[in-house]
Amino acid sequence: MKAAFCTGPLTFEVRDVAQPTPGSTEAVVRVRSCGICGSDLHAFHGSMPPLPVCPGHEVSGEVVAVGGSPSHVRPGDRVAVEPCPGCRECWCCRSGNYQLCRNFRSLGMTEDGGFAEYVRVPLHALYPLPAGIDFEIGSLAEPLAVGVHAVRLGNIHAGDRVAVLGAGSIGLLTVAAAKAAGATEVWVTARHPHQRAAAELLGASRVFSGPDAGTALRDAASQEWVDTVIETVGGTADTVDEAVDIVRPAGSVIVLGVFTTKPSFNALALMMKEVRITGSMTYNRPGPQADFDVALQLLAAEPERYRRLITHRFPLEQITQGFEAAADKRSGSIKVSIRPAD
């Protein structure tokens, strides 16, 4: 089969490799759609070392082989893939907090991922796609589950005002998750006009953009409480400091952006306002429903609205062009999908 590997900054190589076979608790999925994540772009830009494995973790596809005894999936089933399955043995995994597993592993990071024609996946990491969700929409389950998890950690409910810093795909999907949780208002910061339009499409009440966006956001927050701020930018941004500044006293800041440097913030303001800062790591199963289950329900309710976030589509052989489009927001990109198989 063919699989793509990031071999250095701005460089991908598509190789012929052996097709995986499933172990007794695994399945092999034919990848139909795999989205490019912001964390993938860090490696592409060289801010993280090239991975020794095939990247890609926003995966949907079709089960082609199942190892061991029959389970909840069988060959031919359409599925979304939860890429951080955990060991299923430690306390974190047994309590549903497999995102905190000490033996953390992830498709596309520690094991071969979805920028390939086929991928091997633990059976318990497969979620059947609801009727009405195609593979393209199904690949949004992973980034939407990230937003669902952050919103749940922020205990967002009806009547809350939420500010989402950043309008990349994670930020935009967090807007949708916050609205679904009942937030009365959701404010967003966005750099580009197409991000602004997407934020409004997903229910944002106010969008702050342009060179004076930060000042306008601070002015608005000084007049109206922001109960929870969700930081989705990461990188080298000063957005944690901005979040502490604008959140109300005793409010919450949820950090889910992937930072490549140590962020600084006003610790005195943190103390005097009694702000709670919580890190948000992917998704988990806090009870009968996993964050992935909630994400799939949201997608099934309005699939065509979410489809508008997928702005570019490339075959596996053109993955470098796909990453270039994802990295250049002047292209109008929000979510770029790589399609190893049609």
User: For the segment 145-158, what is each residue's pLDDT rounded down to a tens digit?
Assistant: 999 999 999 999 99
For residue 214, the model assigns a pLDDT of: 87
With 80 as the cut, is the pLDDT of residue 171 above it? yes
For residue 317, the model assigns a pLDDT of: 96
Among the residues of 109-232, which ranges form H helices? 135-138, 141-153, 169-180, 193-201, 213-223
Model pLDDT for residues 115-134, shown as the tens digit of each residue: 999 999 999 999 999 998 99
With 80 as the cut, is the pLDDT of residue 71 above it? no
Phi-psi region at 46: left, alpha or beta (left = phi > 0; alpha = psi -120 to 50): left
Q: What is the DSSP letter of 111?
A: B
With 90 as the cut, is the pLDDT of residue 211 above it? no
Q: What is the DSSP letter of 25?
A: T
pTM value surpassing 0.85: yes
DSSP three-state, residue 206 = strand
For residue 257, the model assigns a pLDDT of: 93
- What is the C-alpha separation between 76 and 97, in angstroms, rounded? 30
Answer yes or no: are the C-beta atoms of 217 and 189 closer than 8 Å: yes
DSSP three-state, residue 17 = coil
pLDDT band at 8 (very low <50, low <70, confident <90, very high): confident
Do the strands 185-190 and 161-165 form a parallel or antiparallel pair, or are they unpaired? parallel
- What is the C-alpha separation between 292 and 82, in angstroms, rounded? 7
pLDDT band at 96 (very low <50, low <70, confident <90, very high): very high
With 90 as the cut, is the pLDDT of residue 216 above it? yes
- What is the C-alpha separation between 233 and 230, in angstroms, rounded? 9
For residue 151, the model assigns a pLDDT of: 98
DSSP three-state, residue 108 = coil
Average the pLDDT over 313-335 and give the result. Answer: 95
For residue 95, the model assigns a pLDDT of: 94
Average the pLDDT over 266-275 and give the result. Answer: 96
With 80 as the cut, is the pLDDT of residue 68 above it? yes
Answer yes or no: are the C-beta atoms of 172 and 195 closer than 8 Å: yes
- What is the C-alpha separation between 38 and 234, in angstroms, rounded? 9
With 90 as the cut, is the pLDDT of residue 70 above it? no
> What percentage of the chain exceeds 70 in pLDDT?
100
Average the pLDDT over 244-265 and give the result. Answer: 94
Domains and CATH numbers, the chain: 2-140+309-339 (3.90.180.10), 146-279 (3.40.50.720)
Do the strands 206-209 and 185-190 form a parallel or antiparallel pair, or are they unpaired? parallel
For residue 47, the model assigns a pLDDT of: 73
Angle between helices 169-180 and 193-201 (to 10 degrees): 20
pLDDT band at 46 (very low <50, low <70, confident <90, very high): confident
Average the pLDDT over 7-32 and give the result. Answer: 94
- What is the C-alpha separation between 287 and 283, in angstroms, rounded? 12
pLDDT band at 48 (very low <50, low <70, confident <90, very high): confident
With 90 as the cut, is the pLDDT of residue 45 above it? no
Average the pLDDT over 177-203 and give the result. Answer: 96
Average the pLDDT over 55-66 and give the result. Answer: 97
pLDDT band at 137 (very low <50, low <70, confident <90, very high): very high
Answer yes or no: are the C-beta atoms of 73 and 128 closer than 8 Å: yes
pLDDT band at 86 (very low <50, low <70, confident <90, very high): confident
